Amino acid sequence: MRYKINAGLFVLFVLFISVCISNLANFLGTDRQIAQRLQETSENNLEWKDRRKKLEIGNGTDHLMWFVQISDIHISIWRDKKRQSDLRDFTGETLDVIKPPVVVASGDLTDAWSTNYLGSQQFKREWEIYKSILEENQVGKKTIWMDIRGNHDTFNVPSLDSDLNFFTKYSIQGDKHKRSYMKQITVGKDKYSFIAIDACQNPGTKRAFNFVGILDVNQTNAIIDLAEASRKSGADYIVWFGHYPTSSILSPGTGNRGIRGVLGHYDEGYVYLSGHLHTLGGLAKNMYALQDTNFFELELADWKDNRMFRVAAFDHGLFSFIDIKHKDWPIILVTNPKDSMLNIEKKEDPSLQVKSTHIRILLFDPEEIISCKVQIDDEQFKDCHNITKNLYVREWQPDRYKKGQHRINVVVTTADGRRKSISQQFALDNTNRGFPTIAKMILKTNLTHIFQAMFGFALAACILPICILRTWHELAYARKVKKPNLHRSYFRRMIRKLWILSTVDRILYPYLFSILYVLIGPWSIGHIIDGHMGIIFSWGMFVKGHFLPGTLSYLYGYFQLMFCSFPLVFIYAQVVWDRYNILLVPEKQRPKTIWSRTFEYLPFCTVLLTEIVLAGFFWSIYGPLSAFLGPLRTWSMVLHCALFYWAKTLPKYTLKSAMTVLE
């Protein structure tokens, strides 16, 4: 008796498995400890609010501090040696001009890519170059250089104690802090805590699935411990920083809000600084967002290709920043009135700007500043005067600008004749003009959830149409529904081809199995880390006794399904349709030419070539064993070739059911 598939139950089963697997990582990490700890520390928020200083903004230098961030340096021994010379200039002249008490270097200090862009490993020479540049310019004597690891810094690193973890030997902070840590500075009467969040995978696998950060319960507790220590020390402000944006961090055990819930819990924590995403190929050069848990998240464009860095400041409790391209002098940062994009009422005193007596501007340039002029809206430009070398002020009447958005323009001239102007909006009624939509979408979502959704969509696209047609066919064959008319339009003829394919069990079931296999795996077995075998699934990897939840693997699975499996169902449908016509009306068949045979095989050969390239990708990264023990890659090519051959040589009896319904 012929086995009949129940499409509805099959789809429900697949979706159920998909949901279970996609949430496996969070299930494994579920722990109420984080929520309980945060609840216990809620009273400390009130203590901080009570002791927060009541400040007045005038022309003084008290309560003013600035610092610098740089990210994604990517020191490489293979390409773009100018990164090194520019970094040497940055740690020399630039820091000498700005004189920040703290520099935050938020990950990907080295490149760790082989010369062919396929392999990934730690190159000792890259780390030696990084360290030598910092030592050459005596960075440790100029500032507190706070570096932290990025995913490139952990490629192919078996453990924190491994000899390949060069961060511990060649970075500034690595010998004292293997993971997250805190540094505090006191400027004037204010104390600032800088808390580094290391969310790198441990162990660190090779590319390409080492992309999203992971904070387990222990690491999250360590971050809370640092924040609590900051509070006990009486710190006025917390600056969080790490390599990964929060949208790229898995944090099992922290609930739906993830690490954002932890960072937002601390009222003194104003901002989280990150890198990692560069500029997304130029699509999002300014990735800033105000998270729902009430802190700013600011991703910084990379040093690698764009030579960007950030100057940020706290001025009487107001946080502001500007992102600068290397050597784009002078640097102009207006701290009062601050950019309305950065208004955050629950942390900052909304009356500070309204009651202030002076416009305040920070200026940095290697040459002497000759003039600084300021204009509000369409009023006349007025001269500012300097309080210190870097602080310029101008008296103003903020009552005139209490409502709505206004614009401040600043023009600066230097001794060597350079002239630069900036313009930004401000709002004294504490309204926030908002951040770019693309930036908010990237930073406020969860990239892993997006990848999972794309993967689920691809699964549905590959399975649902063919299963629905099979169910429809069974009902029509049993005369429970009317036979369809699938002859007229192009769309109906395409459905007709898919319909016929859905009736051929020897093609349908192996195809559906191949789709289901992408979901449940394993995809491949290979050297995920040199010297250490691992298993790759869509939902995660097992290596060295550790489970690393799936992240970028879902995106890879999406491309596998949409660019290989999905086209194949239409290719098989066309081949089965041709076979159907040959068997049904052989007298109408014409001899095939070379061109007709070429176009007959070209689509399948294109997909097969794509799979060969992807198999080569696994081979080059995880070794030849991963190709031989690669059901998703190598074995799937064998299956698809077999299905293509079977479709070309179908016997007539396999098409009898379709002929009964459609003819």
Q: Quick one: the chain helix, strand, coil %, rounded to 5?
A: 45, 20, 35
Burial class (CB in 10 A: 0-12, 13-18, 19+), 161: exposed
Give per-residue pLDDT as tens, 29-48.
444 567 767 766 665 665 55
Which two structure tokens, joined as six digits, stand for 181?
């840590």
> CB neighbours (10 Å) of residue 149?
31
**pLDDT given for residue 581 in this prediction:** 84
Q: Mean pLDDT of all residues in the chain? A: 87
pLDDT band with cut points at 50, 70 and 90 for residue 8: very low
* Side-chain half-sphere CA neighbours of 247 within 13 A: 24
Picking from 407, 441, 475, the residue at the C-terminal end of a domain is: 441
Q: How far apart are CA 143 and CA 195, in angstroms?
A: 16
Please, what is the angle between helix 82-89 and helix 124-136, to 10°?
A: 30
Range with the poorest average pLDDT among 48-62, 249-263, 507-521: 48-62
Domain-embedded: residue 358: yes
Pairing relationship of beta strands 419-426 and 532-537 according to DSSP bridges? unpaired
The verdict on 509 and 382 lying in the same domain is: no
Calculated CA dihedral for residues 153, 159, 161, 163, nearest 10 degrees: -60
**pLDDT given for residue 23 in this prediction:** 52
The verdict on 484 and 574 lying in the same domain is: yes
Please, what is the angle between helix 447-477 and helix 566-584, to 10°?
A: 20
In this prediction, residues 531-558 reach a mean pLDDT of: 90
Burial class (CB in 10 A: 0-12, 13-18, 19+), 155: buried
The verdict on 473 and 594 lying in the same domain is: yes
Which two structure tokens, joined as six digits, stand for 288?
């800033």
Domain-embedded: residue 42: no
The verdict on 513 and 609 lying in the same domain is: yes
> Is a pLDDT exceeding 90 seen at residue 208?
no
Q: Are 320 and 351 in contact (CB under 8 A)?
A: no
Over the range 536-573, which residues count as b (16 or more CB within 10 Å of their CB) and which as e?
bbbbbbbbbeeebbbbbbbbbbbebbbbbbbbbbebbb
Range with the poorest average pLDDT among 183-192, 205-214, 320-329, 618-627: 618-627
pLDDT band with cut points at 50, 70 and 90 for residue 1: very low
Q: Are 382 and 375 in contact (CB under 8 A)?
A: yes
Pairing relationship of beta strands 102-106 and 64-70 according to DSSP bridges? parallel
The verdict on 480 and 415 lying in the same domain is: no
For the beta sheet containing 358-364, the strands, ordered from the edge strand earlier in sequence to the opposite edge, are: 331-336, 358-364, 391-395, 385-386
The verdict on 400 and 498 lying in the same domain is: no
The verdict on 553 and 521 lying in the same domain is: yes
Which two structure tokens, joined as six digits, stand for 32?
């109420």
Domain-embedded: residue 101: no
* Side-chain half-sphere CA neighbours of 563 within 13 A: 14
Give 25 or 477, the one with higher predicted confidence: 477
The residue range of the domain holding 367 is 330-441
The verdict on 532 and 602 lying in the same domain is: yes
Element containing residue 169 per DSSP (H, E): helix 167-170
Domain-embedded: residue 306: no
Range with the poorest average pLDDT among 241-250, 267-276, 458-467, 469-478: 469-478
Q: Residue 271 is which amino acid?
A: V
Domain-embedded: residue 209: no
The verdict on 476 and 583 lying in the same domain is: yes
The verdict on 432 and 497 lying in the same domain is: no
Q: Are 92 and 137 in contact (CB under 8 A)?
A: yes
**pLDDT given for residue 487 in this prediction:** 67
Q: How far apart are CA 650 and CA 52, in angstroms?
A: 80
Give per-residue pLDDT as tens, 95-109.
999 999 999 999 999
Domain-embedded: residue 205: no
Which residue is listed with tokens 């059911």? 657
**pLDDT given for residue 117 in this prediction:** 75
Which two structure tokens, joined as six digits, stand for 415?
């001794």
Give per-residue pLDDT as tens, 396-441.
999 999 888 999 999 999 999 999 999 999 999 888 787 888 888 8
Domain-embedded: residue 92: no
pTM: 0.89
What's the total number of domains in the chain?
Answer: 2
Angle, alpha carbons 566-568-574 (nearest 5°): 120
Picking from 441, 472, 497, the residue at the C-terminal end of a domain is: 441
Q: Residue 30 is which amino acid?
A: T
Calculated CA dihedral for residues 395, 400, 401, 406, nearest 10 degrees: -80
pLDDT band with cut points at 50, 70 and 90 for residue 163: very high
Alpha helices in 530-590 (DSSP H): 552-560, 566-584
**pLDDT given for residue 53 in this prediction:** 67
> Is a pLDDT exceeding 80 seen at residue 474?
yes
**pLDDT given for residue 588 in this prediction:** 56
The verdict on 598 and 486 lying in the same domain is: yes
**pLDDT given for residue 49 in this prediction:** 58
Picking from 400, 417, 441, the residue at the C-terminal end of a domain is: 441
> CB neighbours (10 Å) of residue 163?
12
Give per-residue pLDDT as tens, 291-317.
988 899 999 999 999 999 999 999 999
Q: How far apart are CA 337 and CA 174, in angstroms?
A: 39
Tell me the C-alpha to C-alpha distance, in Å, between residue 54 and each of 316, 358, 395, 630.
9, 17, 21, 64
Domain-embedded: residue 495: yes
Phi, psi of 474 (to 5 degrees): -60, -40
* Residue closest to 301 by CA, chosen among 98, 91, 106: 106
| CATH number for 382 | 2.60.40.10
Give per-residue pLDDT as tens, 494-534.
888 898 899 999 999 999 999 999 988 899 898 899 889 99
**pLDDT given for residue 26 in this prediction:** 47
How many residues are recorded in the chain?
Answer: 663
Q: Are 243 and 274 in contact (CB under 8 A)?
A: yes
Q: Is the dihedral of CA 40, 43, 47, 49 positive or negative?
A: positive
The verdict on 471 and 589 lying in the same domain is: yes
